């Protein structure tokens, strides 16, 4: 099914393979027959987590089967990061907390800590997978070298804390490049390191990466996300701890939205707002950029997940102080892409949607050109309006994302 452009076209192939009618699929997924019919014709986007999960469950396939594998075209920014995935996979598969190290020597532990917290973290925030993928596998290998025979307990703890961040970084890169299974392996490695460290807040960091709202069993994800936040809460002592708890609250909000639990999503968003009031509004200095501005960004993302109309998405977007996002390309790109996807669903705001999506692409081309949800929005918009006045711009972005045009 690699030649099929939209998720709807893959849906039609899978539905027919299962021998199901549209009415049967609608009944089992909880979606309307008319919406599914338009989706199969490429006229409605299937870019909400709740839709993908419901359809995959009804068809008894994986979400990857429905969404499709990463498309590798000719655009360098879209394709080049994928060449770095094999080395990352090798590092994840050959290292373990109870294995012998795979390297015979390593740089001093503090040099590795500085590399992770400095250059790798800065490039992660820019979604520069080419830089991250170049240095991260060796970093993981060498951290395991120090962990296998630490000079003392302090070095062991330092290696474990840095491994948690390194594996979380690996998980984010893998998932962004359409490798969810590899991302889960990396997140599990982060959790293993956090458990060995024995620090509840660091375990919360790993949980943020491990319990992500992109699994097929959304209700289980929502339960686990809430439990992770509840487990960390008694151990919060500082602003840094609040940042971890705040990101867990945002994760729980998104998981609730993916189960169409709007009240639950709003509860966790309000909890995140409460925590953000007690930390600096600093996208670059805080862990995972947790702050009031980031909570506002997540409100947009969760509104889009809940299916809010384009006009409502635009209202939420106006509440975000965009000047605070300029130093953090990753969060800015996600915000712009979410707004664009939300606007693309509404005929009245569709032209404006392309402007937001283009800005997202400019902010983080490696990330956005590999984003399955953005790909779906572009493909559907192209099908809806092949002769639109903005068709040339739309076809240009479609070409860069590997959408036939």
Q: Is the pLDDT of residue 90 over 90?
A: yes
Q: Is residue 322 part of a domain?
A: no
CATH number where 22 lies? 1.10.260.40
Does one domain contain both 83 and 120? yes
User: Of 285, 306, 327, which residue is a domain's last?
Assistant: 306
Task: Compare 72 and 304 and report the one with higher pLDDT.
Answer: 304
For 78, the token pair is 């879209």
Label residue 150 by pLDDT band (50, 70, 90). very high
Does one domain contain both 158 and 248? no
122-148 residues labelled b (16+ CB within 10 A) or e (exposed) = ebbbbbbbebbbeebbbbbbbbbbbbb
Q: Is residue 54 part of a domain?
A: yes
The owner of tokens 């199901």 is 20
Collect all residues with Cβ–Cβ distance below 8 Å to 213 and sequence separation of at least 6: 49, 221, 225, 251, 254, 255, 257, 258
Give a three-class secondary structure readout of the chain: CCCCCCHHHHHHHHHHHHCCCHHHHHHHHCCCHHHHHHHHCCCCCCCCHHHHHHHHHHHCCCHHHHHCCCCCCCCHHHHHHHHHHHHHHHHHHHCCCCCCCCCCCCCCHHHHHHHHHHHHHHHHCCCCHHHHHHHHHHHHHHHHHHHHCCCCHHHHHHHHHHHHHHHHHHHHHHHHCCCHHHHHHHHHHHHHHHHHHCCHHHHHHHHHHHCCCCCCCHHHHHHHHHHHHHHHHHHCCCHHHHHHHHHHHHHHHHHHHHCCCHHHHHHHHHHHHHHHCCCCCCCCCCHHHCCHHHHHHHHHHHHHHCCCCHHHHHHHHHCCCHHHHCCCHHHHHHHHHHHHHHHHCCHHHHHHHHHHHHHHHHHCHHHHCCCHHHHHHHHHHHHHCCCCCCHHHHHHHHHHCCCCC
Across 67-78, average pLDDT: 77
Q: Is residue 312 part of a domain?
A: no
Domain count, the chain: 4
Does one domain contain both 79 and 189? yes
C-alpha angle 139/142/147, rounded to 5°? 125
Does one domain contain both 262 and 359? no
Q: CA 32: distance to chain centroid? A: 27
The owner of tokens 């690996």 is 170
Q: Is residue 194 part of a domain?
A: yes
Which domain range does residue 396 map to?
336-405
Task: Compare 104 and 397 and report the one with higher pLDDT.
Answer: 104
Average pLDDT score, the chain:
91
Distance spanning both ends of the chain, measured CA to CA: 18
pLDDT of residue 213: 64
C-alpha angle 267/269/275, rounded to 5°? 105
Q: CA 203: distance to chain centroid? A: 19
Most confident region among 46-50, 95-99, 106-110 by mean pLDDT:
106-110
pLDDT of residue 327: 87
Task: Compare 213 and 154 and report the one with higher pLDDT.
Answer: 154
User: Of 190, 210, 230, which residue is a domain's last?
Assistant: 210
For 10, the token pair is 């893959």
pLDDT of residue 2: 43
Residue 226 and residue 272 in contact, taking contact as beta carbons nearer than 8 Å: no
Residue 17 and residue 76 in contact, taking contact as beta carbons nearer than 8 Å: no
The owner of tokens 């790109």 is 333
Distance CA 257, CA 121 (A): 29
Distance CA 206, CA 217 (A): 20
Residue 353 and residue 382 in contact, taking contact as beta carbons nearer than 8 Å: no
pLDDT of residue 80: 94
Does one domain contain both 362 and 391? yes
**pLDDT tens-digit map of 360-376:** 999 999 999 999 899 99
Which phi and psi (to 5°) does residue 291 adopt? -175, 180
pTM above 0.95, yes or no: no
Which phi and psi (to 5°) does residue 61 adopt? -130, 170
Does one domain contain both 123 and 95? yes
Angle of the 200-210 helix axis to the 218-232 helix axis, nearest 10: 160
Collect all residues with Cβ–Cβ distance below 8 Å to 111 and sequence separation of at least 6: none
Does one domain contain both 196 and 226? no
Does one domain contain both 81 and 203? yes
Does one domain contain both 80 and 166? yes
**pLDDT tens-digit map of 20-39:** 999 999 999 999 999 999 88
**pLDDT tens-digit map of 193-226:** 999 999 999 999 999 999 986 656 778 889 999 9
Does one domain contain both 55 and 99? no
User: Of 69, 84, 115, which residue is a domain's last?
Assistant: 69
Label residue 138 by pLDDT band (50, 70, 90). very high
Across 384-389, average pLDDT: 59
Does one domain contain both 223 and 293? yes
Distance CA 7, CA 148 (A): 45
Burial of residue 109 (CB within 10 Å: 0-12, 13-18, 19+) is buried
């Amino acid at each position: 099914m690699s030649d099929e452009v939209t998720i709807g076209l893959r849906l039609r192939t899978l539905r027919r393979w299962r021998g199901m009618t549209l009415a049967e699929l609608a009944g089992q997924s909880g979606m309307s027959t008319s919406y599914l019919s338009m989706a199969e014709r490429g006229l409605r986007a299937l870019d909400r987590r709740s839709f993908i999960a419901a359809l995959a469950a009804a068809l008894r396939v994986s979400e990857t089967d429905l969404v499709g594998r990463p498309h590798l075209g000719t655009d360098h920014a879209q394709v080049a990061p994928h060449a770095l995935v094999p080395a990352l996979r090798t590092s994840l598969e050959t290292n373990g907390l109870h294995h012998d190290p795979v390297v015979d020597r390593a740089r001093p532990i503090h040099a590795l800590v500085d590399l992770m917290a400095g250059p790798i973290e800065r490039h992660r925030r820019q979604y520069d997978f080419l830089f991250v993928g170049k240095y991260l596998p060796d970093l993981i290998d060498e951290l395991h070298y120090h962990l296998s025979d630490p000079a003392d307990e302090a070095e062991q703890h330092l290696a474990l804390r840095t491994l948690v961040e390194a594996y979380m970084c690996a998980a984010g890169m893998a998932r962004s490049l359409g490798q969810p299974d590899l991302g889960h392996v990396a997140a599990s490695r982060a959790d293993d390191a956090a458990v060995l460290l024995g620090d509840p807040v660091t375990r919360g960091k790993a949980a943020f990466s491990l319990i992500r709202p992109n699994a097929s069993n959304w209700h289980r994800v929502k339960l686990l996300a809430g439990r992770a936040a509840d487990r960390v809460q008694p151990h919060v002592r500082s602003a840094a701890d609040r940042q971890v708890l705040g990101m867990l609250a945002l994760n729980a909000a998104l998981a609730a939205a993916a189960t169409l639990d709007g009240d639950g999503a709003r509860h966790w968003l309000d909890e995140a707002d409460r925590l953000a009031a007690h930390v600096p509004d600093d996208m670059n200095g805080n862990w995972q950029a947790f702050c009031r501005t980031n909570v506002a960004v997540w409100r947009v993302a969760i509104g889009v997940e809940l299916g809010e109309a384009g006009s409502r998405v635009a209202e939420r977007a106006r509440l975000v102080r965009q000047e605070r996002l300029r130093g953090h390309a990753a969060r800015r790109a996600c915000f712009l892409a979410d707004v664009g996807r939300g606007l693309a669903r509404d005929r009245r705001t569709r032209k404006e949607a392309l402007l937001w999506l283009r800005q997202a692409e400019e902010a983080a081309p490696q990330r956005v050109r590999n984003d399955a949800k953005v790909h779906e929005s572009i493909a559907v918009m192209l099908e809806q309006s092949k002769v639109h006045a903005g068709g040339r711009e739309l076809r240009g972005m479609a070409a860069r994302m590997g959408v036939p045009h």
